[in-house]
């Protein structure tokens, strides 16, 4: 063996064997045969030019030279493991899937997180499919009924919104003169809100969009009045792009739920991402089996 090549595998075998002082146990941990472990230790002894173990009937005993060498070799291996883990964690992406309609709520939070923690990278994938769950992702935000074992980020709460520079309607009945922006191909969200306000009116002018995000964007541009989830427009209202002309909101029963991989299968930083997304939410564990939603 060349003196220029440090026998790392043999050193690892020595460290494991020194911990057990038993070749059978060391071989089991290393997934090697006893003979293979013995050969690695013999190769290391030859490379070092000294004996590491005394062999006797009851097992192994470290020689004075082996006992003196052990702490420094153990420390060196621990430093290499720590450096490797640090490098691995710094290049790990968390795969997050979320519905397109949640982008207005999610993206500002991801931007703030990566500004604060540049070593934490989230690979975001958007979808129009609300039925799928984790699949091959590390975490997923899903819209619809609560999921057992998931974390409820927020419950959908519908309210009309209009551009801040548009005339503000004085009452819900005044909306009849405006263009209604729908987040779906039908009018169910608007009808849900109007029914909760006990208002009946004719919606003469309508525009339908594929997602709530598109309807909200149209409202910001002054195209009409959109029915939106108040959670999704919080930043638009805070910045003055949108206003809520009425205080009345209606819960639809739908929620945005965060699903995540079990801790044993989770990538580095997943727990931190989950904590960040939940930090300003009144979140509860969705336990449908217990009757909680």
pLDDT tens digits, the chain, 293 residues: what are they?
445 688 999 999 999 999 999 999 999 999 999 999 999 999 999 999 999 999 887 789 999 999 999 999 999 988 988 887 666 666 568 999 999 989 999 999 999 998 998 888 899 999 888 777 888 899 999 999 988 889 999 999 999 999 999 999 999 999 999 999 999 999 999 999 999 999 999 999 999 999 999 999 999 999 999 999 999 999 999 999 999 999 989 999 999 999 999 988 888 889 999 999 998 664 444 333 333 33
- Cα separation values, 177 from 24, 115, 149, 181, 203, Å: 85, 44, 45, 13, 8
Domain definitions of the chain by residue range: 8-89, 92-293
Q: Indicate the pTM of the whole model.
A: 0.65
The set of residues, in sequence order, having a beta carbon less than 8 Å from that of 166 and lying 6+ positions away, is 222
Task: State whether CATH 1.10.10.10 applies to domain 8-89.
Answer: yes
Assign residue 149 a region (left: φ > 0; alpha: ψ between -120 and 50; beta: otherwise).
left
Q: Which fold has domain 92-293?
A: D-Maltodextrin-Binding Protein; domain 2 (3.40.190)
Confidence at residue 146, expressed as pLDDT on a 0 to 100 scale = 87
Q: Give the pair of three-digit tokens for residue 159.
A: 């309210």
**Torsion angle of the four alpha carbons 192, 198, 201, 203, in this order, in degrees rounded to the nearest 10:** -10
Classify burial at 37, counting beta carbons within 10 Å of its beta carbon; exposed 0-12, middle 13-18, buried 19 or more: buried
The angle that helices 8-20 and 23-30 make with each other, rounded to 10 degrees, is 130
Q: Are 180 and 224 in contact (CB under 8 A)?
A: yes
pLDDT value of residue 281: 62
| pLDDT of amino acid 259 | 94
266/207 Cα distance (integer angstroms): 43
**What pLDDT is stored for residue 88 in this prediction?**
63
């Amino acid at each position: 063996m060349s003196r220029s090549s440090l026998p790392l595998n043999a050193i690892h075998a020595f460290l494991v064997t020194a911990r057990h002082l038993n070749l059978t146990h060391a071989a089991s941990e290393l997934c090697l045969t006893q003979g293979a472990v013995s050969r690695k230790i013999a190769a290391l002894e030859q490379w070092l030019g000294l004996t590491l173990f005394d062999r006797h009937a009851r097992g192994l005993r470290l020689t004075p030279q082996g006992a003196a060498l052990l702490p420094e070799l153990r420390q060196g291996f621990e430093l290499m493991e720590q450096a490797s883990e640090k490098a691995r964690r710094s290049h790990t992406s968390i795969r997050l899937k979320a519905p397109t309609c949640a982008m207005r709520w999610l993206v500002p939070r991801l931007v703030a997180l990566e500004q604060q923690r540049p070593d934490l990278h989230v690979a975001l994938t958007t979808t129009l499919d609300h039925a799928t769950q984790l699949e091959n992702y590390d975490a997923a935000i899903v819209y619809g009924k609560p999921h057992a074992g998931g974390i409820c980020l927020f419950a959908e709460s519908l309210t009309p919104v209009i551009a801040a520079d548009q005339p503000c309607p004085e009452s819900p009945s005044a909306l009849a003169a405006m263009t209604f922006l729908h987040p779906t191909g039908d009018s169910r969200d608007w009808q849900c809100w109007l029914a909760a306000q006990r208002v009946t009116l004719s919606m003469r002018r309508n525009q339908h969009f594929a997602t709530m995000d598109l309807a909200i964007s149209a409202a910001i541009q002054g195209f009409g009045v959109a029915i939106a989830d108040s959670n999704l427009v919080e930043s638009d209202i805070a910045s003055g792009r949108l206003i809520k002309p009425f205080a009345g909101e209606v819960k639809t029963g739908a929620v945005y739920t965060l699903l995540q991989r079990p801790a044993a299968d989770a990538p580095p930083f997943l727990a931190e991402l989950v904590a960040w997304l939940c930090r300003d939410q009144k979140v509860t564990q969705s336990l449908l089996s217990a009757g909680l939603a």
